Structure 1
Amino acid sequence: MRLSGRDMCRKLALRCICRPARPARRYYTPAAPSTLKVLGTDYPADSYTNITPTIISKLSLQLHRQPAHPLGTLRMLIESHFPSFSHLSCLSPIVTPYQNFDSLSFPADHPGRSVTDSYYLNKDVMLRTHTSAHEVETFAKGETKWLLTADVYRRDEIDGSHYPVFHQMEGAEIFEATPSSMKKVEEDNEQLSAHLERSNIVIEDIPHITSTNPAQPSHDPRHSEIIALNLKLHLNSLLLELFGGVAGASKEEPLRVRWIEAYFPFTSPSYEVEVFFRGKWLEILGCGVVLQSTLDRANVPSKLGWAFGLGLERIAMILYSIPDIRLFWSRDERFLSQFTPGKISTFKPYSKFPACFKDVSFWLPDRPETQAKMHDNDFCDLARDVAGDLVEDVKVIDKFTHPKTNRDSLCYRINYRSMDRSLSNEEVNAIQDLVISHLKDRFGVEIR
């Protein structure tokens, strides 16, 4: 699950107010064949199809399964902390909207369903946007405690910390809702608590259940308290292992962890966790008690349990001091040779090449009011398809509506910067010309 935090929740809430969950159609027609081949299978295209060649090229790479890669090392370190859990890491990224949203009780108008936020092969299949898309099927297979690591896909802005492909790890454990089972969980809680009390960690906790972060109606509140505490203790122990040594914590400066109430569609109560690391609080993961409807759909209605989700890139960028998310995709030996399987080390920048900014201003075409405007993520996908990872970031620097013609104008600034070499102005101009050409062909814009 990608549990993206308070800022993302506010962003999603604002999107819910400002636009419908799924535009029915776009005002342009992407240049696309009637079918597309993805991971060896042909899929019919339709009005939902928005997956791009750049994204298709990433589907088979699976950085999290490369042992010497920072993401692979981080996956193995977390798996080693949960040795009794099943470790899953090779599920197909192609899922149905039911798996990705409905099985997890996402509301019908959730903005994540939109073609501007998610990648669709067609209206019936899409790329998973979080590892939670596999929760129901994994529980239904009889797995009771597991870690699942996978690449996930979201249409997003372009900057140093956002990329349309990233990697998540989901962990979950479920228990029988019986007195004997709950007693075993309480014994586990006692052992974990004793371990943490002996460790150099300060935990700013919150009540497990409140009126604003309630137990589910079908759950015994006492059971929910026990499960929530078990979740917190397991994650506090994990964070101590990941950040305690790297942070150089001492008796004078222990690792500090704090818990915050949160909201997610598929857990209740729900929490976010932050770590105070190198002078600031950093959001690390989200988690909670699994929604009972999820377990009902998995045909394990007599159980209850917890789940958490974390982003591997986010944690790896912190632990390895990697400044730009694009570096994870680098094939440059100056990057790859710095890392050893099973060891976290500080990334040493090998270059900082100059940036080259280019602006493009254009009038949007006239369109019926029932058709959606070009979304910022449409422009970002186009820029990625043309220039790949040479695009460091994209920003809207001007929006204008002509007072007489009522035509809309946009100006985007593209920052080109290679991580491996200097770009000449002539080379960037040629790339920018291609961006403009594709922009005119695909969206029917008029360059200003």
Structure 2
Amino acid sequence: MSVAYGYQLQILLHEFLILSTATALSRTLNTTIDMNNIPKTINEKRSLKLHQNKLHPVCQLKEKIQRYFHDFTPFDNLSEVVSIEGNFDELLVPQDHPARSTNDTYYVDSAHVLRTQTSAHQNELLRRGYQSFVVTGDVYRKDTIDRTHYPVFHQMEVVKVLPKGTDALSDLKSTLSGLIEYLYPGKDYRFLDDSFPFTEPSVQIEVYQNEDWMEVLGAGVIHPKILENCNIEATGWAFGLGLDRLVLSYCNIPDIRYLWTTDERFLKQFKDGLSQFQEYSKYPPVFKDISFWVNGYTENRDELWSEYNNFCEIIREEGLDLVEDVTLQDKFQKEGRTSLSYRIAYRSGERTLSNEEINLIQEKIRTVLSDKFEIILR
């Protein structure tokens, strides 16, 4: 065998291995190698970076928390496109975990996703030698439609490495108690046991706010396997919090869509920093129902229709930010089929909506749903 032929054979073998790996990954995800399930409305949000806009309450809360962790290294401009390994594998997320599904996650291609959590950068930064750091960024997950959920939101991930033998859980709870007392002075709070793939043990904190317990953050001791994989002989802790929902409660904002408005009546209320939101003219809602039969109906882990997140995504894509809420009105089975009926609430924060314009949107939604899903419209 000639040297040249042997070299060509090596190249072909290398390319075959790469293709085989990509094909195997593709099959694992039950999709194709060149997949991309990111809709236009999500792509349009990727450049906005609310957490970097100093006049926006999301950024202002980020900066307030960063001041508490002033001796930690801050990162807030890391790319939202991350590898599947960083977002899932290196965080010990099981291969069959629902979060990997295209029903939950936006895939850029067969090897990359729009990060679903800022923890996606944890292993990379640990390997680069950072011992204490704060990562803030926009994250992306398919989600339901209501006043507190949105498919793009903002997270902060705080990580600290401690010497081996340190009681990391005690150090974590002490740190979090100080943070909560800093953010919510005088409020009652409590620690609850929780479970995450990448921390063990895990906890969450709830704060008593507006006569109810509100989850503020999830946390835990960094899983030993993660530190081992990063060649770190130590212990440590990590926690993550969602800035958007905290801003809603912190500033008394009733609808998460306000965070994405360009209306000056909203933005000018925060020109001097975080403050209590004063709601301006509230326009009336327009309600429309949509009902259909589903063959082979199945449910997800939240006991919702397994296609519910994709269903909501289509409604968002066609209705844009005019859609305020989607609620299940009725569900029953007959002759092996399942009937679902949903009520869609449309409302603009800037003008009164007409029945005529909403009817056009509703008809487009019906058409797209009929094309995308195995359903029979009623």
Category of TM-score, reference length = shorter chain: 0.7 to 0.9
d(CA) in 2 for partners of 1:438, 1:302: 53
Once the two structures are overlaid, the 10-residue window that deviates more, 382-391 or 392-401, is 392-401
d(CA) in 2 for partners of 1:337, 1:344: 11
**1:87 to 2:74 alignment:** yes
Cα deviation, 1:380-417, whole Å, max 9, x if unaligned, reads 110111111100111232334441xx344332221111
Please, which of 267, 285, 290 is the counterpart of residue 222 of structure 2? 290
Please, which of 171, 195, 209 is the counterpart of residue 230 of structure 1? 171
Please, which of 68, 75, 85 is the counterpart of residue 98 of structure 1? 85
> What secondary structure sits across from 2:188 in the alignment?
strand
Cα deviation, 1:282-338, whole Å, max 9, x if unaligned, reads 211111111111122223x21211111111012111110011111100110010110
Q: How does 1:143-222 map to 2 (within 5 A)?
A: 143-177=130-164, 220=165
Which structure would you say has the larger RCO, counting Cα contacts within 8 Å and 6 or more residues apart?
A: 1
Distance 1:91 1:366, change over 3 A: same
Could you tell me how far 1:23 is from its partner in structure 2?
7.4
Q: Conserved in 1, the CA contact under 8 Å of 2:148 and 2:255?
A: yes
**1:309 to 2:240 alignment:** yes
Cα deviation, 1:186-243, whole Å, max 9, x if unaligned, reads xxxxxxxxxxxxxxxxxxxxxxxxxxxxxxxxxx5xx3xx222221111111111111
Instruction: Tell me the equivalent position of 1:379.
Output: 311
**1:240 to 2:172 alignment:** no
Distance 1:361 1:273, change over 3 A: same
Q: Which amino acid aligns with 2:119?
A: S
Q: Conserved in 1, the CA contact under 8 Å of 2:265 and 2:280?
A: yes
Distance 1:108 1:362, change over 3 A: same
Could you tell me how far 1:172 is from its partner in structure 2?
0.8
Q: Which amino acid aligns with 1:273?
A: I
Q: Conserved in 1, the CA contact under 8 Å of 2:158 and 2:238?
A: yes
**1:78 to 2:65 alignment:** yes
Q: How does 1:1-150 map to 2 (within 5 A)?
A: 24=30, 45-46=34-35, 49-150=36-137
Q: Which amino acid aligns with 2:237?
A: W
> What secondary structure sits across from 2:157 in the alignment?
strand
Instruction: Tell me the equivalent position of 2:275.
Output: 345
Could you tell me how far 1:364 is from its partner in structure 2?
4.0
Distance 1:231 1:414, change over 3 A: same
Instruction: Tell me the equivalent position of 2:356.
Output: 426
Q: Which amino acid aligns with 2:212?
A: K
Q: Which amino acid aligns with 1:265?
A: P
Distance 1:122 1:364, change over 3 A: farther
Could you tell me how far 1:349 is from its partner in structure 2?
0.2
User: What is the TM-score with the length of structure 1 in the denominator?
Assistant: 0.73
> What secondary structure sits across from 1:273 in the alignment?
strand
Instruction: Tell me the equivalent position of 1:436.
Output: 366
Q: Conserved in 1, the CA contact under 8 Å of 2:221 and 2:237?
A: yes
> What secondary structure sits across from 1:95 in the alignment?
strand
Please, which of 380, 394, 397 is the counterpart of residue 329 of structure 2? 397
Q: Conserved in 1, the CA contact under 8 Å of 2:77 and 2:137?
A: yes
CA RMSD of aligned residues (A): 2.1
Provide structure 1 residue ranges, at least 5 long, that are not aligned to the other structure.
1-21, 26-33, 35-43, 178-219, 245-253, 368-372
Q: How many residues align?
A: 345
Could you tell me how far 1:77 is from its partner in structure 2?
0.5
Could you tell me how far 1:111 is from its partner in structure 2?
1.5
Provide structure 2 residue ranges, at least 5 long, that are not aligned to the other structure.
1-27, 298-304
